[in-house]
């Protein structure tokens, strides 16, 4: 099966959380501060692969006293890097058919930017962004603005909106995109097949969590949400005999104690591998200050 080949390429399975933490935090980790791209800007211009994106964020919400957290209000440095890596056709997940044009993706803790969904969404069947409800408004704005900007211009630079028919087509594309947002609080909400938004697709091929591990209190709820989302596969009668759901966890290496606590909890339910350097892009490899791990439910 493709999953077996994929896992064999990743190399040795991680067996000891303490050892993995020591190996990662013994690297020459560069100073990243907290890891914001720019916590003061309300708008960021980013290039992900062959796409130019304009992303709105909210420094005001970040600095507010909102209960339940504010970290999703701005873009973190690892997010554009992960988006560039995972959306590339050369990525190992595509090369080994873990991801393909029929895949359904669930992202946990997506924040307001929707960057990974905007980059990966066009290459898969469906992409579900999830986070707390407070990010919904800016997610909607970012999806709408970047759908329109990428469907209204052709490669030659001609503006399709000069043509009324083409403009109408662009708007239709924006409204029928396969990237959607659904509110999901790890601590209070139940993970069900309704997250897919489809009667035919009742589970996910890949679950993504990007820079969600920075708070001890959220470790157990996050891991349990990953477990529950992976178990949807067992209930999906259309997927009997197919690959298990693959979990991709990307994070900035901030605290060895928090990282090790997460990995210990995660390894109780998942077999875990670290993505090897030769399968990563520059900026995510050893000594970058970031790490990407792959989990498969035991």
Position 42 pLDDT exceeds 60: yes
Spell out the residues 6+ positions from residue 46 whose beta carbon is closer than 8 angstroms to its own: 52, 53, 54, 55, 75, 80, 115
User: Is 224 buried (19+), middle (13-18) or exposed (0-12) by CB count in 10 A?
Assistant: middle
- Sheet bearing 206-210, strands edge to edge: 179-183, 126-131, 104-108, 206-210, 246-252, 290-297, 270-274
Better-predicted residue by pLDDT, 195 or 38: 195
Q: What is the pLDDT of residue 1?
A: 66
pTM listed for this prediction: 0.89
3-state secondary structure of 55: strand
Instruction: Among 15-29, 100-114, 143-157, 217-231, name the one with the lowest average pLDDT.
Output: 143-157
- Decide if pLDDT at 173 tops 70: no
Identify the CA nearest to 139 among candidates 169, 118, 108, 170.
Answer: 118
Q: Would you state the pLDDT for residue 155?
A: 39
pLDDT of residue 40: 85
Q: Cα–Cα distance between 40 and 62 in angstroms, integer?
A: 9
- Helices 216-235, 256-269: crossing angle, 10 deg rounding: 20
Q: Tell me the C-alpha distance between 250 and 247, whole Å.
A: 10
What pLDDT is stored for residue 148 in this prediction?
53
- Neighbour tally for 102: CB within 10 Å: 11
Q: How far apart are CA 234 and CA 253, in angstroms?
A: 33
Q: What is the pLDDT of residue 71?
A: 82
**What's the pLDDT at 192?**
96
Q: What is the pLDDT of residues 230-289, one digit of tens each?
A: 999 998 988 877 889 999 999 999 999 999 999 999 999 999 999 999 999 999 999 999
pLDDT tens for each residue of 178-210: 999 999 999 999 999 999 999 888 999 999 999
Give the lowest-confidence range in 81-95, 144-158, 251-265. 144-158
CA separation, residue 34 to residues 24, 30, 37, 84 (Å) = 18, 12, 9, 21
Quote the distance between the C-alpha of residue 250 and its chain's center.
8
| Owner of token pair 């992303």 | 55
Q: How confident is the prediction for the chain on average, in pLDDT?
A: 88
Alpha carbon of 172 to those of 104, 144, 169, 298: distances in Å?
22, 11, 5, 42
Q: What sign has the CA pseudo-torsion 258, 259, 262, 263?
A: negative
Lowest-confidence region among 158-162, 194-198, 222-226 = 158-162
pLDDT for position 60: 87
Structural domains in the chain plus CATH codes: 2-297 (3.40.50.150)
């Amino acid at each position: 099966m493709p999953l077996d080949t994929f896992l064999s390429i990743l190399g040795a399975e991680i067996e000891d959380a303490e050892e993995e933490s020591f190996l990662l935090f013994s690297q020459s980790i560069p100073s990243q501060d907290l890891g914001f791209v720019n916590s003061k800007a309300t708008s960021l211009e980013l290039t992900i692969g062959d796409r130019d994106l304009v992303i709105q964020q909210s420094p005001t919400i970040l600095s507010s006293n909102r209960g339940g957290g504010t970290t999703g209000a701005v873009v973190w440095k690892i997010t554009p890097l992960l988006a560039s890596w995972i959306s590339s056709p050369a990525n190992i997940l595509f090369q080994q058919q873990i991801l393909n044009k029929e895949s359904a993706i669930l992202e946990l803790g997506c924040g307001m930017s929707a960057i990974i969904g905007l980059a990966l969404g066009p290459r898969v069947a469906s992409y579900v962004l999830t986070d707390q409800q407070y990010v919904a408004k800016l997610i909607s704005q970012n999806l709408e603005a970047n759908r329109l900007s990428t469907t209204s211009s052709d490669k030659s630079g001609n503006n399709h909106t000069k043509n009324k028919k083409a403009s109408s087509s662009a708007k239709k594309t924006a409204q029928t995109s396969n990237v959607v947002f659904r509110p999901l609080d790890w601590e209070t909400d139940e993970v069900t097949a309704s997250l897919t938004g489809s009667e035919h697709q009742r589970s996910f091929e890949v679950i993504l969590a990007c820079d969600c591990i920075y708070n001890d209190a959220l470790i157990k709820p996050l891991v349990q949400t990953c477990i529950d989302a992976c178990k949807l596969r067992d209930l999906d009668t259309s997927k009997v005999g197919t690959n298990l759901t693959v979990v991709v966890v990307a994070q900035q290496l901030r605290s060895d104690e928090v990282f090790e606590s997460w990995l210990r909890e995660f390894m109780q339910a998942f077999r875990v591998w670290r993505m090897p350097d030769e399968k990563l892009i520059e900026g995510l490899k050893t000594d970058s200050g970031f790490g990407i791990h792959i989990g498969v439910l035991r």
